[in-house]
């Protein structure tokens, strides 16, 4: 009896026992992503500020991790400071990854462009009035000021489409 397969599907590619398990499909989906960036490298890039702290994260950027060598881009004189901190950085990175993944650091001088933080929108008069009304029962002081600022931030619309009505 001849095997029945879908058009364009080789008979050897058909799963004999019915539908294929989801786990069998995952390698085909993840392989292209992992070719571009290994999981450890992606984790280092994503968690860089948590690994090295905000001061070093502002002047360095991890570029790639290949064969245990992490390439870091940094601006000018920071490279010299980073060379002195190499042992501590390696310990922090490997502790964060949970294994001895990075064995060396390579520094590349590159002009880093700082990413400016998005500016907070100015509170609308309606949002300010609603925030003041909400904290009217709180005695004057630092707590009231903090709660009023929080209220203004929460009630201020973030996009032009929501400018007509403050969020509640």
101, 40 in Cβ contact below 8 A?
Answer: yes
What pLDDT score does 94 carry?
86
Complete domains list, the chain, with CATH? 36-109 (3.30.300.180), 125-159 (no CATH)
Q: Where are the beta strands (DSSP E) in 11-146?
A: 60-66, 69-74, 104-109
Strand, helix or coil for residue 72: strand
Sheet holding 69-74, edge to edge: 60-66, 69-74, 104-109
The pairs formed by 84-87 with CB atoms below 8 angstroms and a separation of 24 or more are: 85/56
Strand, helix or coil for residue 78: helix
DSSP state of 139: P
Q: What is the pLDDT along the chain (168 residues), one digit of tens a residue?
A: 455 555 555 555 555 677 777 777 777 766 665 555 566 777 777 778 888 888 888 888 888 887 888 888 887 788 888 888 889 988 988 888 787 778 888 888 877 665 566 677 788 888 889 989 999 999 999 999 999 988 888 888 776 544 444 444
Q: Which residue do the tokens 């909400």 mark?
A: 134
Name the residue among 54, 38, 41 with its Cα closest to residue 96: 41
């Amino acid at each position: 009896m001849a095997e029945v397969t879908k058009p364009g599907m080789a008979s050897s590619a058909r799963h004999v026992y019915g539908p294929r398990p989801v786990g069998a499909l995952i390698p085909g989906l993840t392989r292209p992503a992992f070719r571009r960036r290994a999981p450890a490298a992606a984790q280092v890039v994503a968690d860089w500020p948590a690994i090295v702290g905000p001061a070093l994260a502002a002047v360095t950027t991890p570029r790639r991790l290949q064969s245990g060598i992490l390439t870091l881009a940094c601006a000018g004189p920071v490279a010299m400071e980073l060379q002195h901190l190499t042992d501590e950085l390696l310990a922090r990175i490997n502790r964060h990854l949970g294994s001895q993944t990075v064995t060396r650091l390579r520094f590349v001088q590159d002009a880093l462009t700082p990413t400016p933080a998005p500016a907070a929108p100015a509170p609308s008069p309606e949002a300010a009035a609603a925030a003041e009304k909400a904290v009217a029962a709180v005695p004057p002081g630092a707590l009231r000021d903090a709660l009023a600022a929080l209220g203004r931030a929460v009630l201020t619309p973030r996009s032009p489409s929501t400018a007509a009505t403050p969020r509640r």
